[in-house]
Amino acid sequence: MWYGLSSIVGRFINYLLTPLLTVLGTSQYGEYTTVYAYITFFNIIFTYGMETAYFRFARDVEERSVFNTASTSLLFTTIPLAAIMIFFRGPISALWSVPQHPEYVVLFAIIVAFDTLAVIPFSKLRFEQRPIKFVTLKIINILINVGFVLFFIHLCPWLQKNGTFPSLLSWYNPNYGIGYAFVANAMASIFTLLLLYKELFSFRFSINKKLWKEMIIYSLPLIVVGFGGMVNESIDRAMLPKLLEGSLEFRNSQNGIYGANYKLAILIVLFIQAFRMGAEPYFLKQSTDTDAPKTYARIMTLFVIICSFCFLGVALFLDIWKYFMRVDVRPEYAQGLVVIPILLMAKLLLGIYYNLSIWYKISNKTLIGAWITLGGTLITLGINFYFIPTYSYIACAWASLFCYLFMVISSYILGQKYYPIPYNVKKVLLYLLLMIGIYALHTVAGHFIDNTYLTILLGIILFIAYSYFIIFRFEKNEFSKMPFIGKFISNENPSN
């Protein structure tokens, strides 16, 4: 509960950065989107699976030895890697499509370095079952970040405009814009590591060579899997400004539009992330139960139902959600609304894949899981490379959808071979088709209704109708078993 809720709360607070930053314009927000797309890969390189290795070996070896070995290893590698980033800041900033701002690379060398050094102390908190401190520090990190963004990008310009504290604000450059968001992130990372001082003081500079070799052998394959996952999740925002034609400002602007709309689409990920936090350990724990396959199948159906509610909750009300991107100030963001339903469906498929992937974790076929991920990666790269020059960010959305569709189909077919689970495929497909049909009906009707309020009202009616038929007709018996809502649903004449 603690880790799942902290993930949701943290992501939600981070979402609040979107309207705070999109007001700077599509080009600057495009720079923000591109840089963070690349940073996910640097995080994998800097940590090289050592967090997972810590959890794996701390169970069987003295925890203090594992903690010191992992921390020392990361310290040895983080300093030179950060130095390399700073030394090559010119070429790296050109790669990130921000050649005029090499200092961004310096800032992110600081961010990644401090975040990496905090990885094992945070893992220690989880290992020692101290979730309250873990959650508190994670949320403090996000609040510091948001607080400095508000200060640099909104409060300081207002104070300058009104002539307040002119001498104290002589250092402030209002033209630096999105750069201050990176400064805020760096300050948050530094403060967070300082707040882990108790865990840092327990660190001793020592390394168990035999243990370190075993941890490296265990963790290195995770880099490949991690890179594959990050390519599927982030590479489109890195490739977009590289493959489009036109000025750098135009290319960053297109990426900014896509990045802002992408933020709306991944609202569904809030539920998926919380589900993974609770479901994955539960799945593994239930694996020895004879009824485990039936349990997995039941959970899959319920998962798809909840995800369909999330899909419709966003897709039917884009006329409201679009103001999250501040289209009232920057109407150009509305151009990208067309990709949101595509991305929502892609994330829904990713959630289904997480459910399906339990088979290779239980049957020790993780290598097959890696090949499935790499297959999705090839699809992502191929579609983006071929279609971005013509279709811009719309190609990115479709690439994400086809990538996860391939992974779902592949995982289902192979899973039925190695660990058969009786998924109710017909029912799952029915709910997905019904969900898509509801959205299509709303979209078509919206072309004939020239009134935003009536379009929103129609969305409410369709959402309620869909929910009624799912809960009180198709899955009445299932929902009546649930806590809280079950008492409101009669068990008489359930239709299943």
- For residue 485, the model assigns a pLDDT of 64
Residue 357 has a CB neighbour count (10 Å cut-off) of 20
| Tens-digit pLDDT profile for residues 118-150 | 999 988 888 887 888 888 888 898 899 999 999
Q: Model-level pTM?
A: 0.82
pLDDT at residue 82, as a whole number = 96
Report residue 439 as tokens.
């959205």
CA dihedral 102, 103, 109, 115 (to 10 degrees): -130
Rounded Cα–Cα distance for residues 387 and 395 (Å): 6
Q: Which of 111, 104, 115, 132 is nearest to 33 (CA)?
A: 104
Q: What is the predicted pLDDT for the residue at 371?
A: 87
Q: Are 404 and 268 in contact (CB under 8 A)?
A: no
Residue 286: what pLDDT? Answer: 67
How far apart are the C-alpha atoms of 265 and 450, rounded to whole Å? Answer: 25
Q: What is the pLDDT of residue 288?
A: 66
Q: What residue type is 466 in one-letter code?
A: Y
Q: How far apart are the first and last CA of the chain?
A: 31
Token match 């899909």: residue? 311
- What does the pLDDT profile of the chain (496 residues) look like in tens digits? 666 666 677 777 777 778 888 888 888 989 998 898 888 889 888 988 888 788 778 877 888 888 899 999 999 999 999 999 999 999 999 998 899 999 999 999 999 999 999 999 988 888 887 888 888 888 898 899 999 999 999 898 888 888 777 777 788 888 888 999 999 999 999 999 999 988 888 888 888 888 888 888 877 776 777 777 788 888 898 899 989 988 988 999 999 999 989 888 877 887 787 777 666 656 666 666 777 888 888 889 888 998 999 999 999 999 998 888 888 888 888 899 999 999 999 999 999 998 888 787 777 676 787 888 889 999 999 999 999 999 999 999 999 999 999 999 999 999 898 888 899 999 999 999 999 999 999 999 988 888 889 999 999 999 999 988 887 777 777 777 766 666 666 554 444 4
The residue type found at 232 is N
